[in-house]
Amino acid sequence: MVDAGPCEPTETVDAGPCESPQRQLVGTGRETDGMDLDSVAVGVPLFIDDPVSLQRGEVELRCTVVSSVSTSCMAMRFLSAVDLPCHPCMAMVILPLLLLLLVPLTAAQTWPACGESGNYKSNSTYEANLKLLSSTLPKKAASNTTLFATDTVGNVPNTIFALALCRGDSNASACEGCLVTAFQDGQEHCTSNKDATVYYNSNPCMLRFSNKNFLATNVNDNILVIVSLDMFINISTRADSFSFLLFTLLNNTAQSAANSSRRFTTSRLDVSSLPTLYCLMQCTPDLTADDCVACFQPYSQITLKYMDGRKGGRLLGTRCSMRYEIYPFFQGDPMLRIISLVSELPPTNNTMPPVTLYPPPQSQPHSPDAAPPPPEAQATTQELHGTEIVHDQAATNRPEEDALVWRLEEKSSEFTLFDFSEILRATHNFSKENLLGQGGFGPVYKGQLPDGIEIAVKRLASHSRQGFTEFKNEVELIAKLQHSNLVKLMGCCIQGEEKLLVYEYLPNKSLDFFIFDVSRTTLVDWNKRCVIIEGIAQGLLYLHKHSRLRIIHRDLKASNILLDQDMNPKISDFGLAKIFSSNDTQGSTKRVVGTYGYMAPEYASEGIYSIKSDVFSFGVLLLEILSGQRNSGFHQHEDFLNLLGYSWQLWEGGRFLELLEASIAKEIHAAEARRYINIALMCVQEHADDRPTMSNVVAMLNSEGVILPEPKHPAYFNLRVSKEDESGSVLYSHNDVTICSNNDVTITEEPDGR
């Protein structure tokens, strides 16, 4: 046997300072006669007691006859220390570091790793200390909320150091029982050995005890690698795409586990062209977040190198572990849900992104051990109320491949990720009878969940970049926003090209359904309109000032104001919204989106948007509520002016009461009417600096005795509407800017980012 030095093995391995190779291994197999590695299937468990010598990079199939008709085999691969970083003080099992256990495995499979630090004698002090430890450590771990414990028993030279950890999805009773069994299995399979590590196939715990003080370091030793021999069909032509998905799964699960107080996370990755992938990652809870990240760092590289394209695999160590499968193997719902928006895995020449965990923990933002993410990923990662949208470099050229990640660790979260089958049942397969209306990005259907809760489902148009953008924005922005005047997003669903948003169902449709229809306008009297106006103002104020990040809606209009059963307003449709930090005041874009009848002039002509853009839209909407007339396509008698110009003309002439819709004209006092019209005209003033903030608007709406300043002329007040289009299309021409828009139709182009 060749002495490999500190960590560089040659043909066979003497680990030297990295500790001796593992001497007992567990394998499974069946009768074999010259079959290759991939053809080996499942048989009975087998212990191989002799060391196995492997050439670097070779795969050898070792078989042992267990009966006259059966042969058990184990596939093993040598993984050099170059592939897994080793330190002279690091105790790790080198031979065989990669153990390809043939699946499926027996339910109670035990995987022991026996050290070479010597044996203890029967009835010795060491054995007595081990017996004491086996009676106390399981109870200690089970009584801890993290299901983790370490302990030290005895004096030198009979000191025993021990670590016990149960899976985070286990419970105290199962944890204690598993650890009691682990002590027994460790002593049975590593007879009289002072150093033993025990892993299991299905039992929810791991145990290590040793006469060496491994607790003094964070070294992740006795690493066992288990790989499914089953491959995904035809994955070779899409290897890079699958690597990206596997990277996404491991990266986000590891990050979530490291940032969790228990250092534990379960996750699920959905992509339509492959089975769902389930993952569990866990560190010992005594590790810091940085240490947990460092422990997982080599796991990503090993997994992508040896498990890529395979249907499952595990990496088991004394400090951190990872497992992924194509079936749920952990208890409860996944704590992290990762939805791939790619419907297929096309061949791609993209190189794999660096295998890093990002963002790095805050306590070590510039850690030299973890490479920073690509600039594209840094610039587009945004956390909002527990929600994270992650854009990797591999996805920057394919927006449909973005990974939408939801942190569902908060038990109070009311956001649901629906299965497509649930939505089909709820909407009766999107039947015509359930159709509520048609929006700019797709139809909206009424549905009912099994518990009787009614929902509204927005089915975004297939193959639509605009639909994808709206979906991403809407989910990111309002899933966690809580305000009585914002529509509640209950959840979403993605399956292939289907992208669905699930809202609370509001029975009274939208505001335009009432105020622009002469047969229904009497259903919203002046008192109801006051409640609606106040509610819209409060909702905008929340978005502009009181939410965590300042949000500019950019598409406020009557059809985007939904009404509940009590006619309370709720602002909806955040697909075109923009996020600002609290210090930002305005932004700009070369691509103008929204509804032109409600657009502020600086936005329509220059692409400049701010909270004052929303204030302008609110002013237009307020004039529409007061008059019952649409701004777009408005005409009054022989003067073909828009609603803003007509309102200004009446205001200047002291005839503002003529603006009021007939059904409310008799209900409202002249002074109150003047105040509301004054506020509306202040909101639609041409220059953004002249417009009030929503804080000012709310204050003015609730202060009857305050004398309001006179408004300046509104934007577009002198523009005439073309009579050439009878369908409601309008053409405005002002300062060499020409804009064409259909009546109340949202104009959307691909936004240039948030």
What would the pLDDT profile of 142-179 be if each residue is shown by its tens digit? 999 899 999 999 999 999 999 999 999 999 999 999 99
Confidence label for 416 from pLDDT (cuts 50, 70 and 90): confident
Higher per-residue confidence, 472 vs 391: 472
Which range is least confidently modeled, 24-28, 514-518, 683-687, 700-704? 24-28
Tell me which residue has tokens 């030198």.
Answer: 156
Strand partners, 636: 639
- Catalytic member of 555, 573, 614, 744: 555
Q: Helices marked H in 427-511 — which ranges?
A: 465-478
Mean pLDDT, all residues of the chain: 72
- The CATH number of the domain covering residues in 516-741: 1.10.510.10
Backbone angles phi and psi of 372, in degrees to 5: -70, 155
**Residue 427: its H or E element:** none
Q: Which of 84-88, 280-284, 442-446, 707-711 has the highest mean pLDDT?
A: 280-284
Does residue 4 surpass a pLDDT of 70?
no
Q: Encode pLDDT of 547-603 as tens digits.
A: 877 889 999 999 999 999 999 999 998 878 888 766 666 888 877 878 878 999 998
Per-residue confidence (pLDDT) for residue 293, from 0 to 100: 92
Give yes or no for residue 135 having a pLDDT over 70. yes
| Vertex 459 angle, CA 453 and 464, to 5° | 160
| CA gap 181, 703 in Å, rounded | 73
> Where does CATH 1.10.510.10 sit in the chain?
516-741
Residue 199: strand, helix, or coil:
strand
CB 14 within 8 A of CB 22: no
User: Would you say 434 and 447 are in contact if contact means Cβ atoms under 8 Å apart?
Assistant: yes
What's the pLDDT score for residue 538?
A: 97
**Which amino acid is located at 201 in the chain?**
N
pTM score, whole prediction? 0.53
Are 691 and 615 spatial neighbours (Cβ–Cβ below 8 Å)? yes
555 is catalytic: yes
Listed in order, the ranges of the chain carrying CATH 3.30.200.20 are 416-504
Phi, psi of 504 (to 5 degrees): -65, 145
What is the tens place of the pLDDT at every residue in 283-316? Answer: 999 999 999 999 998 887 787 777 777 888 889 9
At 528 the pLDDT is 97
The CATH superfamily assigned to 416-504 is Phosphorylase Kinase; domain 1 (3.30.200.20)
Three-state DSSP at 375 gives: helix
